[in-house]
Amino acid sequence: MDPKQMKERVLEAARTKLNEHLTEYNERIAELRAVTVENELAETASQTEGRRDADIELMNSIGEQLAQVKRELDSLDQVDLTDAPHDTVRYGSVVVTDRHHLLIATSIDGFDVEGEEYLGLSTKAPLYQALNGKKAGESVQVNGNTFTIKQVY
């Protein structure tokens, strides 16, 4: 498979992973809203009031996580597939090291592409800072760990 096709698959898998998070957060907010509305309609004791306040605080926290996932999806949309493959590590690169398969765009927990686990790596991450501008065959050290770049596209 050519590098551009592989990058498309990696991006699609990353989007799928983030969309799973969106669904999860939306469902959790809906559950909390239902409970909170029920509590508002019932006669409230101070204990129920405290619970409602905690649910509202949790909804706000999940809402912030939801907004973050939307920003991460927007970040993936900024990846330009027309300039694939990359020779050096930069925003939008897919990087295979001796330790990890990485998508350089935004932080995403592990997702599978054709049997390989990939991680989304933010451009703010120390590992990205070390990898930025490097080519296949070069190595970097981060927090006492050595990463050797096997492939960039």
6-46 confidence digits (pLDDT tens)? 999 999 999 999 999 999 999 999 988 887 766 555 544 44
Cβ contact 151:96 at 8 Å: yes
Q: Which residues pair with 116 in a beta bridge?
A: 113
Q: Which of 150, 115, 90 is nearest to 10 (CA)?
A: 115
Q: Which residue has the higher pLDDT, 56 or 79?
A: 79
Cβ-proximal residues to 133 (8 Å cutoff; 6+ apart), any chain: 88, 89, 90
CB atoms within 10 A of CB 25: 19
